Structure 1
Amino acid sequence: MHRRRRTALVLSAAAVAAAPLLTACGSDAHPGAAAVVGDDRITVSQLESRVNEVRDAQRAAIPDEQQYEQAIAKTGGLTRSTLHTMVLDKVLHQAAADAGVDVSRREIQTMRSGLEQQAGSKKALEQGWLQQYSVAPSRLTESFRTEIEAQKLAKVIGADMNAPEGQALFWKALSKASKKLDVDLNPRYGTWDVEKSKRADTKTPWVREVSGNGEAQPKQQA
């Protein structure tokens, strides 16, 4: 389990340096959609529902009004970052499918069990991912699936995430998938540019910085 987490963290560190970013303009070819990714529409209502899941989870986890307001302030760009995450995950899913990567329920459960043990409890894990990555507890399973996909994709395509060349190979696969899906964002949220990516506008579990000792550190909400 230790080796698995270190692999994921190395992968995540590389992703921070190369993740696609949202820029200032876009097209409005799909009214009512926050984004169109291939044949899938992410509607504005779906985006708002996902944001509300996070806000409801934050409210439940933080009964103190002042602390809750501080948490809201720290995630003021939640709508845009949530859409970024939803689109980026779909791009990763496509890249993984193109590479013949799939994820089993057993693999997801193994990751969940290991992370719960590392965090100290199921509640601590849920609060840690909510606090650090704005992932609501109800979305943990699909979040774990996405992280495992990223690990397995890197392995299948032979991308050594400890080396710049490997990182470039990994993001080349995502760039190819992004072009295939022809991602189109509602102009109110920006446009999608996987080619010129330089930084991450959001934190997701598989796109995150490495902690000082190379281990994930979910913390229980105070």
Structure 2
Amino acid sequence: MHRRRPAIALSAALVAAPLLTACGGTAHPGAAAVVGGERITVAQLESRVDEVRAAQRAAATDGAQYQQAVAQTSSLTRDTLHSLVLDRVLDRAAKNAGVSVTARDVEQMRAGLQAQAGGAKELQTVWLQQYGVAPQRLDDSLRTEVEAQKLAAALGADMSTTEGKAAFWKAMSQASRELHVDLNPRYGTWDVQKSSLADAKTPWVKEVTAAAAQQTA
């Protein structure tokens, strides 16, 4: 990401991605989701949401501005959970494709996006406002951005085409099946017949151009 351009255009439209697998709706007390046998607890989810709310409060100039930020991110809990689950699915899909991400990859991504945003603080603000990512989670989010690009490159998937998107999400669906994603119904469903994930504010769920994918390949 040394070319001073973001790998994923911040203004790009969300990929109309299908939900990956149907959930069995198994009862898991205290769990927001179970992915690959590992629980994402309600407490963990709420902690992530609290991080974002604290960052929004710190960034607001007054109470009214904070309330406006809260209103604009009214689906934050659901979006955060979908992001946590999707990131784990992406990790599995990347592993299946032999993809790995280095610290240097993340540094290059950050440098390019900071150059576009106008600085480190400005990039944190963009990620907080557009994607509900707290500043302390920025590098984790950028790592996932790189991983998505590298997966697309490994699959030979040109994400500017319908065929490329289909290949990418086929790999994601396979990973989701392997992990047996089970979402707590209170947070929504994980069903291939629905498309609510397309509304989740997850940075890497964007159109990735072939040129951008090649930058981190």
Q: Which residue of 2 aligns with 1:16?
A: 15
Q: Residues 134 and 65 of structure 1: is their aligned pair in 2 closer, same or farther, counting only changes over 3 Å?
A: same
* Contact persistence 2:5–2:116 (CA under 8 A): no
CA displacement 1:28-55 (0-9 Å, x = unmatched): 4211100000021100000000000000
For residues 1-222 of structure 1, the aligned pairs below 5 Å read: 1=1, 5=5, 7-9=7-9, 13=13, 16-20=15-19, 27-193=25-191, 195-198=192-195, 200-208=198-206
Deviations 1:160-198 (A, max 9, x none): 1121111100000000000000000112112212x3353
3-state SS, counterpart of residue 40 of structure 2: strand
TM-score, normalised with respect to structure 1: 0.85
Q: Among all aligned residue pairs of Structure 1 and Structure 2, give the percentage whose two residues are the same amino acid.
A: 62
- CA 1:26/1:48 → structure 2, altered by over 3 Å: closer, same or farther? farther
State the AA in 2 paired with 1:198.
S
**Letter aligned with residue 195 of structure 2:** K
Residue 34 of structure 1 aligns to a residue whose secondary structure is strand
Q: Which amino acid aligns with 2:17?
A: A
Contact 1:21 1:201 in 2 (8 A): no
Distance 1:80 1:207, change over 3 A: same
Find the aligned partners of 1:17 and 1:3 in 2 and give their Cα distance: 28
Change (3 A) 1:120 1:6: closer
Letter in 1 for 2:28: H
Letter matched to residue 19 of structure 2: P
Q: Give the Cα separation in 1 of the matches to 2:108 and 2:61.
A: 32
Do the aligned partners of 2:32 and 2:184 also contact (CA within 8 Å) in 1?
yes
Equivalences, count: 207
Counterpart of 1:220 in structure 2 is: none
Residues 35 and 183 of structure 1 are in contact (CA less than 8 Å); yes or no, is this contact kept in structure 2?
A: yes
Q: 1:123 to 1:7 in 2, by over 3 A?
A: closer
Q: In the alignment, residue 108 of structure 1 is paired with which amino acid?
A: V
> Aligned partners of 2:179, 2:117: CA distance in 1, in Å?
36
C-alpha spacing 1:119/1:6, structure 2 compared with 1 (3 Å): closer
Moved over 4 A (4+): 2-7
Q: In structure 1, the residue corresponding to 2:49 is in which secondary structure?
A: helix
Cα distance in 2 for residues equivalent to 1:166 and 1:124: 32
Answer yes or no: is the 8 Å Cα contact 1:133–1:205 preserved in 2.
yes
Cα-Cα RMSD: 2.6
Instruction: Report the alpha carbon displacement of residue 127 of structure 1 after superposing the two structures with TM.
Output: 0.6
Distance 2:106 2:152 in 1: 17
The two structures have a TM-score, normalised by structure 2, of 0.87
Question: Structure 1 residues 145 and 38 mapped into 2: Cα distance closer, same or farther (>3 Å)?
Answer: same
- Asked whether the equivalents of residues 20 and 172 of structure 2 are also in contact (C-alpha less than 8 Å), the reply is no
